[in-house]
Amino acid sequence: MKKILIADDEKNMIWAIKRALKDEGYTIITASNGKEAIESVKIHEPDLLLIDLKMPEMNGLEALKNIKKNFPNTLAIMMTAHGNVETAIEAMKIGAIDYISKPFDIEELKIQIRKALDIRKMSDTIDYLTEELKNKTGKRIIGESKGLKNVLNIVDKVAESKATVLITGESGTGKELIANAIHYNSDRAKNPYIKVNCGALSENLLESELFGHEKGAFTGAINKKLGRFERADGGTIFLDEIGEINLNVQVKLLRILQEREMERVGGVETIKVDVRIIAATNKDLMKMVEEGKFREDLYYRLNVIPIEIPPLRERKDDIKLLTYYFLNKYSKELGRKEFKLTDEALDTLKNYEWRGNIRELENVIERLVILSEDNVITKEKLPKEILYIKGQIDNFKLPSSGINLEEVERNLITQALEATNFNQTKSAKLLGITRHALIYRIEKYNINTKK
């Protein structure tokens, strides 16, 4: 039963709210001022706090500030006088998830309470999912952004089902972690969990690895071999880089998805398998279907539950958490003291595009911890490719005296070459132009490309 704490010095208001929520199944706790509210949160740990702004001894804002400092996970809705927008904004900054103006419609309050408790449920679910994943794999999902919460909400809903899942997203976004979370929070968690990197195996080897082979099926097949699907029977198989499989293997995979049966390479025996399939790719499979490189029927069989992981550049709220997580991880591994990050350095990291996503961020932080002579990461210590970010161009203002555009262009090209150790492909990527366009400009400005 959900517990709601109502903090208000008006007895009539508390009575009215309690009466309205009587049939909703909540346990109601009350407080008549800010200090009582703080004590009640300590004792009862409510799922939701409804707190009035104006109260004796300590007002709602002061009480909420104290509660969020000591009990940061407490969800709160601030009750304010009609039209007091400034106070409502201040309450949201402190940590209230919403506000409602007095006098309010009781049905509107009920809706806001339900929404708030849904957020609580999602938050608890995410905590559970990430903790279970950490316990099973030693790895955890880090982040609080809306995009990541949406992904984990889907994970929670699909984990207990047998539905096939297709995880999409750029390289380095954490597709395997999401697959792990689905398996380890399903009723198959104690059964086999087999992972296959489809892009790392040749065409013939992949077929044999997935479906197994009989003795003598091909040169070198001196013994019968069970395939990954047979080994995953009763559990889950994770097919990473599914866009790399050839059309012949696609046909066999389609049969497993449709009939839950297969034959080993060189075999005639039909083998039944009970396997939950999770696939992942950084490719546009629909585009591959249009190009004839991926079977349309297989695509729809795989895409029963689609989960798209947003790139890190769309999860800027998570960059700070991830950065400090990796700083802590690598400082412990190397026996270093706790690292600090200046605000300027953090802002620079947030504004970088992170084309390599979380994997790139982790690599950068590991490098910084290894190479840093002290325990403070400043902007100046960041890699050159991060310092030369596109966001700086957006903020550039043309001076009233004007500039020499060719001189600026020559300077930027030189900086890009130096930042990439004179790798022309990487330099062109930094500048947002093609390699041919870069070579043309190098020749135009007679830039020395020798190290």
| pLDDT higher than threshold 70 for residue 132 | no
For CATH 3.40.50.2300, list the domain ranges present in the chain.
3-119
For CATH 1.10.10.60, list the domain ranges present in the chain.
397-444
What's the mean pLDDT in 347-368? 91
Token pair 């279907």 in the structure block, residue? 289
| Rg, the chain, Cα only | 28
**CA separation for the pair 367, 378 (Å, rounded):** 14
- Give the confidence band of 110 by pLDDT, cuts at 50, 70, 90: confident
Residue with more model confidence, 243 or 398: 243
CATH topology of domain 397-444: Arc Repressor Mutant, subunit A (1.10.10)
Residue 311, preceding bond cis, omega within 30 degrees? no
SS3 state at 116: helix
What's the mean pLDDT in 191-198? 92
**CA separation for the pair 287, 327 (Å, rounded):** 39
Structure-block tokens of residue 147:
């995009």
Instruction: Please report how many Cα atoms fall inside a 13 Å half-sphere around the Cα of residue 451, on the Cβ side.
Output: 6
For CATH 3.40.50.300, list the domain ranges present in the chain.
146-308
DSSP per-residue string spanning 277-294: EEEEESS-HHHHHHTTSS
Other beta carbons less than 10 A from residue 81's beta carbon: 13
What share of residues in the chain are helix, strand, coil (percent, to 5)?
50, 15, 35
- Give the confidence band of 136 by pLDDT, cuts at 50, 70, 90: low
Q: Are strands 165-168 and 305-308 parallel, antiparallel or unpaired?
A: parallel
**Residue 105: per-residue pLDDT:** 81
Task: Kindly report, residue by residue over 274-321, the tens digit of the pLDDT.
Answer: 999 999 999 999 999 999 999 999 999 999 999 999 999 899 889 998
Structure-block tokens of residue 266:
């060189």
Structure-block tokens of residue 174:
């954490």
- Give the confidence band of 409 by pLDDT, cuts at 50, 70, 90: confident
CATH no., domain 146-308: 3.40.50.300
- Give the confidence band of 195 by pLDDT, cuts at 50, 70, 90: very high
Point out the least confidently predicted range of 26-40, 68-82, 238-252.
68-82
- Please give the C-alpha separations between residue 238 and each of 127, 143, 302, in angstroms, as whole numbers: 23, 23, 12
**Residue 129: per-residue pLDDT:** 54
CATH topology of domain 312-391: Helicase, Ruva Protein; domain 3 (1.10.8)
Structure-block tokens of residue 369:
């911890």
Token pair 């998805």 in the structure block, residue? 257
Token pair 């960041």 in the structure block, residue? 382
**CA separation for the pair 324, 352 (Å, rounded):** 16
Average pLDDT, the chain: 85
What's the mean pLDDT in 342-370? 91
Task: Tell me phi and psi for residue 215, to 5 degrees.
Answer: -60, 130
Residue with more model confidence, 392 or 268: 268
Point out the least confidently predicted range of 178-187, 242-251, 341-350, 395-404.
395-404
SS3 state at 28: strand
**Residue 128: per-residue pLDDT:** 52
The answer, as to whether pTM is greater than 0.75, is no
Cα 337–Cα 338–Cα 340 angle in degrees, nearest 5 = 125
- Please give the C-alpha separations between residue 99 and each of 17, 29, 42, 152, 211, in angstroms, as whole numbers: 15, 19, 22, 26, 57
DSSP H stretches of helix in 215-356: 228-231, 247-259, 285-290, 296-302, 316-333, 343-351
Pick the CATH number of 3-119 from 3.90.1010.20, 3.40.50.1400, 3.40.50.2300, 3.90.245.10: 3.40.50.2300
What's the mean pLDDT in 89-111? 81
- Give the confidence band of 145 by pLDDT, cuts at 50, 70, 90: confident
What's the mean pLDDT in 370-395? 77
**Residue 390: per-residue pLDDT:** 47
**Residue 233: per-residue pLDDT:** 92
Q: Are strands 236-240 and 261-262 parallel, antiparallel or unpaired?
A: unpaired
Cα 60–Cα 64–Cα 69 angle in degrees, nearest 5 = 155
For CATH 1.10.8.60, list the domain ranges present in the chain.
312-391
Residue with more model confidence, 449 or 159: 159
- Give the confidence band of 141 by pLDDT, cuts at 50, 70, 90: confident
What's the mean pLDDT in 147-162? 90
Token pair 């709601």 in the structure block, residue? 4
**CA separation for the pair 169, 173 (Å, rounded):** 6
